[in-house]
Amino acid sequence: MKKGQVYEGVVERVDFPNLGKVSIAGEEKRLVVKNVIPGQRVQVVCQKVRDEQAKGRLLEVLQHSPLETRKPVCSIFPACGGCMYQTMSYDSQLDMKEQQVKDILNQVVDGDYLFEGILPSPKKFAYRNKMEFSFGDDHKDGPLTLGLHKKSSTYDILTADDCKLAHIDMTDVLTCVLAYFQEKKVGYYKKMQHTGFLRHLLLRRGENTGDLLVNLVTTGQEEHDLKPLVDRLLALPLEGRIVGVIHILNDALSDVVQCDAMELLFGRAYLMERLLGLSFKITPFSFFQPNTKGAEIIYRKVQEYLGDVQGQVVYDLFSGTGTISQVLAKKARKVYGIEIVEEAVLAARENAKENGLDNCIFIAGDVFEQLEEILEKPDVLVLDPPRDGIHPKALPKIINIGCDRIVYVSCKVTSLARDLEGLQAAGYRVEKLCLVDQFCHTVHIECVTLLTRSEATQ
């Protein structure tokens, strides 16, 4: 197998995350190629050859997979990087994701554990309550676009005006905003030259309330009257209602959405959402699970795994806007939530007050630093870290707390596998685990794991 050579082969399987293994006739090595589906016959180019494996790039799908039983539901599939598996039947997606997780965890989990399978998302499309769209063009010097990146592209943006992962209210807003700036001939921010105005459109929508928060992210390099845009947005015939329009200034060189300054153009700077009988205030940058109906399944599973927390103290680490904390606080004696994003902590405190919960204490700061500051020790722990998992410095402190039961919620199984090795080395064992498909048609999957301490460790 040679670098630069073009090959044809069949995708044997796809490993997490989005790593297709392509077998080539007459070759011992298998090419690792992204953006493929098991069973496809593909044309690929070899990009790198190593002792154990070779890496390649997909050039063309020559023959569809038997698993591809549906036609694409949007106009920019498969070029768009927003979702990967929409032409597969949903059952086939679930089967593949379940096997991917088992293949990884069975290599690291000590002893037997109860694998409870995968729970489907209640909604297969229009399930996302948050969409982050980018301004750009889909080819160099092309017309203004607003949407999602092309697969494996840093620069090319495809207009996602019929994205099926987002609610139609969101795509209607996208279409309105794009048309407005095309008419005004306003340009987008070019990352290499560090010039331009338009950067992102961040949309958040309450699944159970219909509240819609519109956040336009730009640089401060130009000044434009945005009132006519607000008037157009408020005139849209939406299923829900726009409760706030915000202009966010971001002059950072990186492409990360952040806020240097904020101007409220209409309404309020937050939306309200309801989940499991509780109300939550969601601000532009506060963390909230992106699939509300899927989140409800996760939180019920967390409650089930923790068991009866009546009269107990709970630590909810990496607590975001305090959703899990408040769900558990309805029965627990006290819940401590620790979250590094201060905006999310402020929202969590307001949410708890709104829900009449006076037994929640939310602390802003790094988990590694804040664990030693709490004098009251917990009976049980909930871990819901970011995608990269628990920081290696924080894991020993979490272990030293000595809780007999830990429930770990993970959105990246490889990070979970790494952290499980450390937890098991400290005397914890995996009792049971289930998966929740929060992200239909994408490569992602959510894991909920129950760990207990052995008697010898106690």
- 411 a catalytic residue: yes
Contact 206, 281 (CB under 8 A): no
- β-bridge mates for residue 407, sequence order: 382, 450
- In this structure, the strands spanning 211-218 and 241-249 are parallel
Considering the candidates 83, 163, 360, 411, report the single residue annotated as catalytic. 411
- Distance in Å from the first CA to the final CA of the chain: 54
How far, in Å, CA of 216 to CA of 198, rounded? 8
CA 397 to chain centre: 26
Q: How many residues are present in the chain?
A: 458
How far, in Å, CA of 317 to CA of 421, rounded? 19
CA 292 to chain centre: 12
- β-bridge mates for residue 190, sequence order: 195
Q: At what angle do helices 413-425 and 90-105 cross, to 10 degrees?
A: 30
CA 67 to chain centre: 25
Hey, which residues are catalytic here?
A: 411
